[in-house]
Amino acid sequence: MFIDSTTIVLDGHPVLREKAKEVNLPLSKENEEILMDMITYVRNSHDEEFCKEYNCRASVGIAAPQIAIGKRMLAVSIVDEENGNVEFALANPKIISNSTQKAYLENGEGCLSVVPDVEGIVPRYAKITVRAYNLLTDQIEDIRLEGYPAVVMQHEIDHLNGILYYDRIDKNNPWAPIDGALVI
């Protein structure tokens, strides 16, 4: 499946509010292909020419429900000069531990499925450990993330649970800072 702006479902589509179903391991050929198509899309979205040609928004992650597939699969690709690239193509990801410290993106979050963006601070955990099958390494891994990659992973896992980022924004005071939180 080629993923572009026409493939991504928008807020209001029922699959975005459903809890996605676990997939069987080892992955079926179909699920393997879907996951590879997802990571390919996120990688391609870093390229301005690709985005122009296919009318896409740049992204760092995508979850299967965003392409109308109610399965617990997600892809993340973050190009980071400081810490190197962070890439995962995960099936059945689950947060198995988290810090007590919170974190948030200073300018709020955005989402391929939410247009226009809803503004405000989205509280997340500063550090998480995720257990999942990673197609890129062909094994079940415990993945420790902190800072920006941790925020991205939590955003994508929320999609698998029918949660959109704006559900976490304080409706009464969307830009209220969080005491002691890591501001990214």
For 109-155, the pLDDT digits (tens) are 999 999 999 999 999 999 999 999 999 999 999 999 999 999 999 99
Q: What is the pLDDT of residue 56?
A: 85
Question: Is 2 contained in some domain?
Answer: no
Q: Which two tokens stand for residue 64?
A: 């299967």
Residue 27 — very low, low, confident or very high, per pLDDT cuts 50/70/90? very high
Count of structural domains within the chain: 1
Q: From CA 175, how far away is CA 85, in angstroms rounded?
A: 30
* 112 contacts: CB under 8 Å, gap ≥ 6: 8, 57, 59, 62, 66
Average pLDDT over residues 58-75: 97
- Which of residues 2 and 131 earns the better pLDDT score? 131
Q: What is the pLDDT of residue 43?
A: 94
- Partners of 139 in the β-ladder: 134
Q: What is the pLDDT of residue 83?
A: 65
**Selection from 40, 71, 36 nearest residue 160 by Cα:** 71
Question: Is 8 contained in some domain?
Answer: no
pLDDT at residue 5 above 90? no
Domain carrying residue 118: 14-183
Question: Is 5 contained in some domain?
Answer: no
Phi, psi of 32 (to 5 degrees): -60, -45
Question: Is 4 contained in some domain?
Answer: no
Given 87, 106, 146, 156, the catalytic residue: 156
Asked if 119 is an active-site residue, the reply is no
Q: What is the pLDDT of residue 17?
A: 98
Torsion of CA 115, 116, 117, 118, to 10 degrees: -110
Taking only the tens place, the pLDDT of each residue in 164-175 is 999 999 999 999
Question: Is 101 contained in some domain?
Answer: yes
On average, the pLDDT of the chain sits at 95
Q: From CA 144, how far away is CA 127, in angstroms rounded?
A: 7
The answer to whether the Cα torsion of 7, 9, 14, 18 is positive or negative is positive
Asked if residue 116 has a cis previous peptide bond (ω within 30° of 0), the answer is yes
- Which of residues 85 and 144 earns the better pLDDT score? 144
**Cβ(131)–Cβ(141) below 8 Å:** yes
- Partners of 87 in the β-ladder: 77
- CATH number, domain of 146, equals 3.90.45.10
Question: Is 138 contained in some domain?
Answer: yes
pLDDT at residue 77 above 70? yes
Taking only the tens place, the pLDDT of each residue in 47-62 is 999 899 888 889 999 9
**Continuous H helices in 45-167:** 48-54, 148-160
Question: Is 147 contained in some domain?
Answer: yes
Question: Is 6 contained in some domain?
Answer: no
SS3 124: strand
Q: From CA 58, how far away is CA 63, in angstroms rounded?
A: 15
